[in-house]
Amino acid sequence: MTLVGTQMISDGKTARQIFDEVMANPARAKFGFGEKAAVVNVDFQNAYTRIDEFKTAYETDPRQIEHVNTISRLARGQGMPVVWTHVAYSPDASDAVVWGTRTNTPDSLQNIKLDSRRHAFDDRCEIDRDRDAIYTKRMPSAFFETPLQSLLVWHKVDTMIVTGGSTSGCVRATAVDSLSRGYRTIVPIETCADKHESYHFANLTDLQLKYADVEPVQVVIDWLESRHA
């Protein structure tokens, strides 16, 4: 038998090693930036960012929120929309549907209640509440049952810059939906976070290979600053 495909590889490399190899490939084609971007900041809420308060929180790059504030500020300066999402559920958690059935502890997803401390945005986030769009979502993707698609159409956006957490969950889901809707999708590395480096780097690798341009945050900053030229 002559193989023309690839049997599944098991070579002992870590997810981070594979990510570094993929990112070091100079021949990898990119989708690139378009003409106008939206910055979509996924779930920068205390439940997921305050590692000093909540078991559900995680941190990858300690400067994550600083970087997100920078790119959001630059985008606003160019008249580009900035979106912030966070997750919360009704008192009976019925809107969490099957996603809320695996566990039922104070830390469980469906027990993030509207207007609670866990639902609130991390106060380190520089949110312009007069200009930025703020959505409470209930499922992984920022597109699911939110006005995001309509907002992007109104602003004639062709590029989405996706930040937040978790890399393996809501960031990935949002990025895949972004590409599926025809947007050039950019994921700045330092602006994403997850609980374990294996999940984090495996999903960044998969996004880079299939669905998005995974870039150092400085590449995104440089592009936004170049729009002033």
Query: To 10 degrees, the CA torsion angle through 5, 9, 13, 18?
Result: 30
Q: 1-33 in b/e burial notation, b at 16+ Cβ within 10 A?
A: eeeeeeeeeeeeeebeebbeebbeeeeeeeeeb
pLDDT at residue 192 greater than cutoff 70: yes
pTM of the predicted protein model:
0.96
pLDDT at residue 229 greater than cutoff 70: no
Domain 31-226, CATH homologous superfamily name and number: Isochorismatase-like (3.40.50.850)
Q: What are the φ/ψ torsions at residue 75 (nearest 5 degrees)?
A: -65, -45
pLDDT at residue 228 greater than cutoff 80: no
pLDDT at residue 224 greater than cutoff 80: yes
pLDDT (mean) for 11-21:
96
Domains of the chain by residue range: 31-226
Give the model's confidence band at 227: pLDDT under 50 very low, under 70 low, under 90 confident, else very high: confident
Residue 45 carries which side chain, given as an amino acid letter?
A: Q
Which two three-digit tokens encode residue 179?
């590409």
Predicted confidence at residue 11, as pLDDT, reads 94
Which two three-digit tokens encode residue 6?
């690839």
pLDDT (mean) for 38-60:
98
Least confident among 6-15, 54-63, 118-127: 6-15
**CA of 203: how far to CAs of 6, 29, 50, 106, 196, in Å?**
20, 18, 22, 28, 11
pLDDT at residue 27 greater than cutoff 90: no
